[in-house]
Amino acid sequence: MVTLGAVDLERNLIRYLGTGSFTPEVIASAQGSYVTTESGRRLLDFTSGQMSAILGHSHPDVVATVREQVGALDHLFSGMLSRPVLELAERLAASLPDPLEKVQLLTTGAESNEAALRLAKLVTGGHEVVAFSGSWHGMTGAAAGATYSAGRKGYGPAAPGNIAIPTPNAYRPDVVDADGELDWARQLDLAFAMVDAQSTGALAACIVEPILSSGGIIEPPPGYLAALQRKCRERGMLLVLDEAQTGLCRTGTWYAFERDGVVPDIITLSKTLGAGLPLAAVVTSAEVEAAAHERGFLFLTTHASDPLVAAVGTTVLDVLERDRLDVRAAQLGARLGAGLRALAEEHEVVGDVRGRGLLQGLELVVDRATKQGSDVLGAEVTRRCYELGLHMNVVQLKGMSGVFRIAPPLTATDAEVDEGLVILDQALRDAGKAVL
């Protein structure tokens, strides 16, 4: 058993993780699928950093681009344009279906969602925003107003016009059919009946993740997003899809919305676009952009259109295309999913396995029949994984033991995925004995 050093990591830092805590060791370096602590321990990273490093840590192509670009052009006044920005905008537009073609480059997912919601409000003339009850869109202004999975209590009132609708959670259904399964169509009808009852007639947008991550890796059923889009069309709302974690091949297709045959009015990208560096984008149609421009659209940040990270974004797209990482994510995701389902057969504390490609979730319970959770169990499995050399991220929401968000890099090997599954198997075995 590894004994973790008693380092005072919190002496000069604001503790910004809510009820969570910092990882108990200082990280010295990272390469590929592993991070290495100052003590020399290697940890298999099943979170891809902050769910962002889709090419693994310190990918050689990204490193080369940064070294070259930082010596030529790194940062500019936000009204100045550079060749890397123009190239990345063109490449992003080419990767998306019509009519998505107008791009703004920013730094974080929260920023891109702020820009998307400002676009929607300006173009529609409304201010009301609908989002899932399990959503996470960021911790700034409008993004935080549309975030319901955590972080709402104690900060005073949110801006008026934020409306939550139920998350379509097939494992924990709230509206069921005769067989006890989630009746998502009726749930959606009821949800928008409540939206209509609360609206002042100023609906602007509905913003959702194609797979809710912080909400517990919840994947809306096939057909749901198309039905949601119809609800938006009927009310003159814009549909915004937040693909911070699902975009750029992670789910086995370039964009998660491809499965559902819908094209959003606005898509936001972040995390995966920079492969670990701070880069985000909001993409919309020429029609929406023209209407916003006519009304004086303003969303200016210090690092909008920075050339350094834009060059990295193009490199990321190059690697994804060259190495066919959409196909690789689907193949490796199938291997990961099969391994997780095998663990579910072995361990009674595994209540559900879900997700797509290399964004998968494993929900823990102490009773499969009642689906009762235990925060102690989730925390113990996380701790034991870390001791054994696997970094995992567990989402702990009220009433759940936790859902492990499992997101290895798209560049991971079969052997690395298998190694993570072996460690998780041992951690589940050990934690079950300790807690149950």
Catalytic residue among 102, 405, 416, 430: 405
- Strand bridging mode 203-208 / 128-132: parallel
Please tell me the predicted confidence (pLDDT) of residue 394. 87
Please tell me the predicted confidence (pLDDT) of residue 18. 85
Dist. CA 83–CA 271, nearest whole Å:
22
209 is catalytic: yes
Please tell me the predicted confidence (pLDDT) of residue 218. 97
Which runs of E-coded beta strand occur in 345-407?
Answer: 350-356, 359-364, 390-391, 393-395, 402-406
Query: If you search the block for the tokens 């259109």, which residue do you land on?
Result: 305
Please tell me the predicted confidence (pLDDT) of residue 17. 86
Dist. CA 171–CA 40, nearest whole Å:
40
Please tell me the predicted confidence (pLDDT) of residue 127. 98
Q: Which domains does the chain have, with CATH numbers?
A: 27-59+324-433 (3.90.1150.10), 73-323 (3.40.640.10)
Structure-block tokens of residue 63: 């490193």
3-state DSSP helix/strand/coil percent for the chain, to nearest 5?
Answer: 40, 20, 45
| Blockwise average pLDDT, block size 10, the chain, 436 residues | 55 86 92 97 97 98 98 97 98 98 98 98 98 97 96 92 98 97 98 98 98 96 98 98 98 98 98 97 98 98 98 98 98 98 96 97 94 88 96 78 92 98 97 78
DSSP 23-80: -SS-EEEEEBTEEEETTS-EEEETTHHHHT-TT-BT-HHHHHHHHHHHTT-----TT-
- Strand bridging mode 359-364 / 402-406: antiparallel
Q: Which of 357, 120, 391, 405 lies closest to 242 in space, CA to CA? A: 120
Dist. CA 127–CA 132, nearest whole Å:
17
Catalytic residue among 45, 209, 289, 380: 209
Catalytic residue among 271, 328, 356, 383: 271
Please tell me the predicted confidence (pLDDT) of residue 11. 84
174 is catalytic: no
Please tell me the predicted confidence (pLDDT) of residue 7. 55
Give burial (CB, 10 Å; 0-12/13-18/19+) of 139: middle
184 is catalytic: no
Please tell me the predicted confidence (pLDDT) of residue 205. 98
245 is catalytic: yes
Catalytic residue among 242, 243, 289, 306: 242
Beta carbons within 10 angstroms of residue 151's beta carbon: 14
Please tell me the predicted confidence (pLDDT) of residue 401. 63
Please tell me the predicted confidence (pLDDT) of residue 98. 97
242 is catalytic: yes
405 is catalytic: yes
